[in-house]
Amino acid sequence: MSQTDQNKAEERRTEVQYEQRIVSEKRQQNRGIGWNGKTLREQLAVLEDKTEATGNYAGLSKLSLKADDPIRYEQLYSRLRADLVSAREISKEVSATPIVEQEGELCYGLFTPEGDSIAVSTGIIVHVHTMSEAIKFMINHDYEESPGIEPGDIFVNNDPHVGDVHPCDLMTLIPIFQEGELVAWAGGVNHVIDTGAVGPGSMNVSQASRFGDGAYYTARKVGEDFELYNSWRKEYPAKTRTPNFLKLDERTRITGCLMIRDSVKELIARTGVETFKQLSREAIEDGRRGFRSRIKRTMLPGTYRGASFVDALYEGQKNVTRDYADENHIMHAPSELHIRGDGSFQVSFEGANKWGWHPFNCTPAAIQGGIWVMLTQTVIPNELVNDGAYYACDFHLPVGSWANTQNTETAHAYAWHFLVSAWAPLWQHLSRGYYARGFWEEINAGNANTSNWLQGGGIDQFDKLHAVNSFEAACEGVGARYVEDGEPHAAAIWNPEGDMGDAEAWERVEPLPFLGRAVKPNTGGAGRRAGGAGFESMRTVRDVSRWLLYEMGNGYMTSDGGLFGGYPAASGYILNAQDTDLKERFENGEDYPQHDLDPESGGFESKIDGDVTRRPEGISTPKEFTDYDMYLNYLRGGSGLGDPLERDPEDVLSDIHDGYVLPRHAEDAYGVVVEKVEVGAKHNSAVQGEWELDEDATERLRERRMGERAEKAQPVSEWYDEQRDRIRAEENLIDDVKKTYGSSMRMSEQFARFFREFWDLPDDFNFDLSEQAQRSLDNRFDSGCRPMWDNATRKQKTWLDIDEEPYVPYTWTAERSIRDLHGPESTFSGRERATDDD
């Protein structure tokens, strides 16, 4: 440690000792650590009362600090956020994990004493509100009394039922005191590489319950005086396969939190504590107003409805930890967005099916984390990202569904699989609103379902126990926009600053050398505007023992439907090879597979001998790999927008040369005819040769395709009758589909009534399930609820008690639809002109 750092640490210790003396004196006087001697529980109750009574955060009807001196207000807030970003950029260099250093899987936040976020850094801004929930949990469960909240304390949490997306997101929270009062919290969270789950990697997929997810730390106090307890230093690393990485990650989070604390103390020293308090309140109310203002300017009031599905197939897989988990699952996310007249909105998942014996279940904190990172890329793409938006929104997450299990037995290791898929319709809800109001540049067909996740572990090339989690998944295809194509392999919904990382960086920590890395053609959804393509990496295994690998992602289903006639992105598949002759090919200088850019070509199989697995599923449980085995890591593309037959043929030709589209796919998907005019040229890894557009043949083909469409077209009423009869007869409905809808109907009387009325089914209609499917549902429905929260905040009561849900203007009925708006004007009262900021 340098002399400067030593001096800073000594200064911090002196400050902490001073604050601790004041807190001790206040405790002797039966005064709390909140403002004006209140306990944190009392202070939170007052804030909730004022917010509920006025509709404004903390009862702020006027933003006096902003109104009196707007430039100073903006300077102060910008300084706070800049300090958060600086803390992230500096502290991540402390960590040696590529997940943090390469992908930036790290985020910091500044929170009020009650746990509401004032500002957040860049990075994985999923955690705008997840850390808030952990703070509120501690307040509502009387942590001020035991174990105590003192100056210099360090807390951690990774429990999704308390405040997180999944257990591998580990957060550090440090309280900030001024003259014995708690004025703020500093928080940092990053994705760790291993949690000590039943299988290696941060998001194992073979467990059926929480007890296989790895170590859970439920809002635990782990240090005092900015020093970690010795017991924590021993316990925490010993529970994982990557102790050194976890130690470095923790050092990173603590470093950043201390930098934020120092920045807040410096700001208070310059402006005074009352100014800081006012700023923290006004920033959140400003965020709430800004959110509603933008909604009013860019959306139409009414109900926007959609649905998404994604598969998780476990039937017949090996290494599933429980026999009763040997079944297939389909996530059903019926999605309604209710835009209200005041610009607020409610998201409802009424009709979602039951949680399952799999690690893809979500909690309210996870759902909210997902929506915030999505909203920051749509509704609030600016610096004013905080819990103001939280106070402008309501969520209906049915208790007992996969979205809100309220059962502490459920597993959550890879909540993102369902979460990202569930939010797919929300992109389209917002895009339809943007289209109606003329904000076409904002329209996005929806980013990719972020998968595959290469994960595993065993004894690595250094003969040490190790785990891997390739964050190449931070670069997926971006959905097509209305005005331009989606960006290829550029971002992930949970990390808009996505970076696939350097191959060399991954090879330093993973015994999985790269054989090839390339754009994956045909993965972006076809459309007038094409979805961004994904990419792939071909990996082999070297110098390992007891090494396990597995796949995670969507398989038969793609949850990212296209928009305005655009096509979905490509779904997933699994490709690996074991017991190969790769070593001999290396030694003999023979060809070997570097890619699988055209899965139908047989090119992979022609260049390797071995046990090749090629399956259309997207999820596999861990299986053992050894030296010179091969694994394809395939990352998905974004969905398309608009009719593919309207795409400029010259753009399709460019797509071929850029490696985004295979020549035969140009004809199949776009009705574009091309001819090879030069054999030797090679623009990319996917396509050999130079191609030329045949304009006349393209025009004829497109005319023929339009004619074929007209011949096949039928009135919706005829299609409806056919489908209704099919449902009544349960014709060609596989058991997994019937189980999914049966679960949703059993979960929700509203949804069951809507489903039966819509399809004109008998009032007592239910799907005829197999004995196995019925037993599966009964097993889960009989498990009941075991919520983690004993004392809920006002907002959380809406998660636990449907009777206390905020008023929903429209909900599941057969009579309402997106066409039913408020009236002939179909707009908000008090029209406001859009500004350049919109």
Q: pLDDT tens digits for 300-349?
A: 888 899 999 999 999 989 888 878 889 999 999 999 998 888 887 888 99
Alpha-carbon distance 684 to 593, whole Å?
A: 16
**E strand intervals along 126-180:** 154-157, 169-178
C-beta atoms surrounding 796 within 10 Å: 18
Give the dihedral sign, CA 483/485/491/493: positive
Q: Do you find a cis peptide bond into 147, omega within 30 degrees of 0? A: yes
Among candidates 225, 250, 227, which has minimal Cα distance to 237? 250
Q: Would you state the structure tokens that stand for residue 325, as one six-digit string? A: 């988990």
The answer to whether the beta carbons of residues 530 and 653 sit under 8 Å apart is no
Flag whether 746 is in a domain. no
366: three-class secondary structure by DSSP: helix
Q: Would you state the structure tokens that stand for residue 621, as one six-digit string? A: 């449980």
Flag whether 714 is in a domain. no
Give the dihedral sign, CA 740/746/752/756: positive
Alpha-carbon distance 581 to 595, whole Å?
A: 16
Flag whether 743 is in a domain. no
**Phi and psi of 793, rounded to 5°?**
-75, 170
The torsion angle over the Cα atoms of residues 65, 68, 72 and 75, rounded to 10 degrees, is 60
Alpha-carbon distance 603 to 586, whole Å?
A: 18
Alpha-carbon distance 499 to 518, whole Å?
A: 15
| Residue ranges making up the domain that contains 206 | 3-289
CA distances from 800 to 334, 395, 396, 571 (A): 19, 11, 10, 35
Alpha-carbon distance 87 to 97, whole Å?
A: 17
Alpha-carbon distance 470 to 517, whole Å?
A: 14
Flag whether 601 is in a domain. yes
CA distances from 345 to 348, 370, 439, 629 (A): 10, 16, 19, 50
Given 259, 289, 319, the domain boundary residue is 289
Alpha-carbon distance 660 to 485, whole Å?
A: 12
Alpha-carbon distance 421 to 417, whole Å?
A: 7
DSSP state of 559: S
Q: Which helix (H) or strand (E) holds 115?
A: none
Among candidates 560, 514, 556, which has minimal Cα distance to 534? 560
Number of structural domains the chain divides into: 2
Give the dihedral sign, CA 153/158/162/164: positive
CA distances from 169 to 61, 157, 164, 204, 245 (A): 36, 9, 7, 14, 14
The answer to whether the beta carbons of residues 273 and 177 sit under 8 Å apart is no
334: three-class secondary structure by DSSP: strand
Q: Which residue has the tokens 């390339």?
A: 518
Residue type, 37: G
Specify which residues 675 forms β-bridges with.
Answer: 692
Given 228, 260, 289, the domain boundary residue is 289
Q: Which residue has the tokens 């996917």?
A: 686
The torsion angle over the Cα atoms of residues 744, 747, 750 and 756, rounded to 10 degrees, is 40
Q: Which residues of 153-182 are buried (b: 16+ CB within 10 A; e: fewer)?
A: bbbbbbbbbbbbbbbbbbbbbbbbbbebbb
The answer to whether the beta carbons of residues 383 and 78 sit under 8 Å apart is yes
Q: Which helix (H) or strand (E) holds 363?
A: none
Among candidates 117, 193, 110, which has minimal Cα distance to 457? 193
Alpha-carbon distance 741 to 354, whole Å?
A: 10
| DSSP per position, 616-656 | S-S----EEE-TT-EEEEEEPPPPPBS-GGGS-HHHHHHHH
**E strand intervals along 198-283:** 220-224, 227-228
C-beta atoms surrounding 151 within 10 Å: 26
Residue type, 690: E
Angle between helices 424-437 and 364-375 (to 10 degrees): 40
Flag whether 339 is in a domain. no
Alpha-carbon distance 443 to 528, whole Å?
A: 14
118: three-class secondary structure by DSSP: strand
The torsion angle over the Cα atoms of residues 295, 301, 303 and 304, rounded to 10 degrees, is -50
Alpha-carbon distance 810 to 816, whole Å?
A: 7
Given 624, 647, 670, the domain boundary residue is 647
Helices (H), 399-554: 416-422, 424-437, 503-509
| DSSP per position, 591-618 | ------SSTTS-HHHHT--SEEEEES-S
Helices (H), 445-571: 503-509
Among candidates 383, 510, 512, 493, which has minimal Cα distance to 444? 493
**Phi and psi of 358, rounded to 5°?**
-155, 165
In this prediction, the residues of the chain whose per-residue pLDDT falls under 70 are 1, 791-838
CA angle at 654 for the pair 651 and 656, rounded to the nearest 5°: 115
Q: Are strands 393-396 and 345-348 parallel, antiparallel or unpaired?
A: parallel
Helices (H), 102-218: 130-140, 160-163
**CA end-to-end span of the chain:** 47
Q: Do you find a cis peptide bond into 452, omega within 30 degrees of 0? A: yes
Flag whether 213 is in a domain. yes
Residue type, 117: S
Flag whether 836 is in a domain. no
Alpha-carbon distance 68 to 638, whole Å?
A: 46
Flag whether 553 is in a domain. yes
Alpha-carbon distance 606 to 602, whole Å?
A: 6
